[in-house]
Chain A
Amino acid sequence: MATIYIDDKPYEVSDGQNLLHACLSLGFDVPYFCWHPAMHSVGACRQCAVKVFRDEKDRRGRIVMSCMTLATHGTRLSVDDREAREFRASNIEWLMTNHPHDCPVCDEGGECHLQDMTVMTGHVYRRFRFRKRTYMNQDLGPFVNHEMNRCIQCYRCVRFYRDYAGGRDFNVFASHNAVYFGRHQDGTLESEFSGNLVEICPTGVFTDKTLKKHYTRKWDMQTAPSVCVHCGVGCNTIAGERYGTLRRIWNRYNGEVNSYFLCDRGRYGYEFVNSKDRLRHPLRRQKVSSAEMTTEQLDRKKIFQTISAFIHPGGANVIGIGSPRASCEANFALWKFVGPENFYSGLGEKDHRLIPMILRILAKGPARAPSIKDVEGCDAVFIIGEDISNTAPRLALALHRSVRQKPMAITQKLHIPYWDDAAVREAIQNEKGPLFVATPAETRLDALAASAFRAAPGELARLGFAVAKAVCEHAPAVTDLTEDMRVRAELIAQALRDSEHPLIISGTALRDEAIIQAAANVAWALCESGKKASLYYVMPECNSMCLGLFGGRTLGEAAEALERKSADTLIVVENDLYRREPPALVNRILGAAKHVIALDHLENATTARADVVLPAATFAEGSGTYISSEGRAQRYYRVFDPDGDIRESWRWMQDIMNARGNLHASSWQNLDDVTTAMGEDIPALKTLPDRFPRADFRVTGQKIPRQPHRYSGRTAMTAHVTVHEPKPSDDSDSALAFSMEGFAGEPPPALITRFWAPGWNSVQSVNKYQDEVGGSLRGGDPGIHLLNDEDVIKPSYFPGVPPPKRMPDRGEVLAVPLYYVFGSEELSVHAPGIAGLIPAPYITLNTLDAQICRFGEGQIAGMSLSGFDLRLPVRIDNSLPPGVVGIPAGLPGLAGIMLPAWGLLCLDDAEREKGT
Chain B
Amino acid sequence: MNSIKLKGALLSVILFLMMLAVWHLATAPKSGINQPDRVSTTPASSGNSEYDLLMGKGSKDVAPAQKSGFPTLTQMGETFYKQLSDPFYDKGPNDKGIGIQLAYSLARVSLGFLLALVVALPVGFLIGMSPLLSAALNPFIQILKPISPLAWMPIALYTIKDSSISGVFVIFICSIWPMLINTAFGVASVRKELLNVAKTLEVNPIRKAFKVILPAAAPTILTGMRISMGIAWLVIVAAEMLVGGTGIGYFLWNEWNNLAISSVLFAIVVIGFVGMLLDMLFAKLQKMVTYAD
Chains A and B are bound partners: no
**Chain B residues close to A by CB (< 8 Å):** none
